[in-house]
Amino acid sequence: MTVTYVLDGGGIRTLEDFWRVIGEAVDGPGGYFGRNLDALADCLGGGFGTPEDGAFVFEWRDHETSRTWLGHAETARQLEIRLARCHPTNRAAVAAELAEARAGRGATVFDWLVDIFEQRAPGTLRLL
């Protein structure tokens, strides 16, 4: 039997919202299913939740609303946070990515999330 987890895209306006929504979808109120990109990849890849429990799929309903909110403005905000915390040897690369986001170019937070699903758990994300 395949377990379906529903993500309400109408409630996802920031990356932090995404962490809350996916955590609650998988583990109920206050639940955890990653709170950074690497943790999400680990959770989807196995050993930290649904993959060991059997077949699963995530339905990201109203994903177009999320796509809009998780666009270049949110990407720039997240890259500003990353730039403040990253190792000095990574600052130039993060700053360049930030400049692209501010100019409305490049991958967005929404793209980052979808890519992780595609790479770590192909076929488990339905964009509705």
Residue 112: which CATH number? 3.30.370.10
What residues does 3 pair with on adjacent strands? 56
Tell me what pLDDT residue 71 has: 98
Residue 84, domain extent: 72-107
Q: What is the pLDDT of residues 59-101, one digit of tens each?
A: 999 999 999 999 999 999 999 999 999 999 999 999 999 999 9
pLDDT of residue 119: 95
Q: 94 and 42, same structural domain? A: no
| Residues 52, 42 share a domain | yes
Query: How far is residue 66 CA from its own chain's centroid?
Result: 11
DSSP 120: H
Residues 67, 78: one domain? no
pLDDT at 52 over 80: no
Q: Are residues 53 and 93 in the same domain?
A: no
**Which stretches within 4-62 are classed as H helix?**
15-27, 37-45, 50-53
Same domain, 103 and 118: no
Q: Please state the domain count of the chain.
A: 2
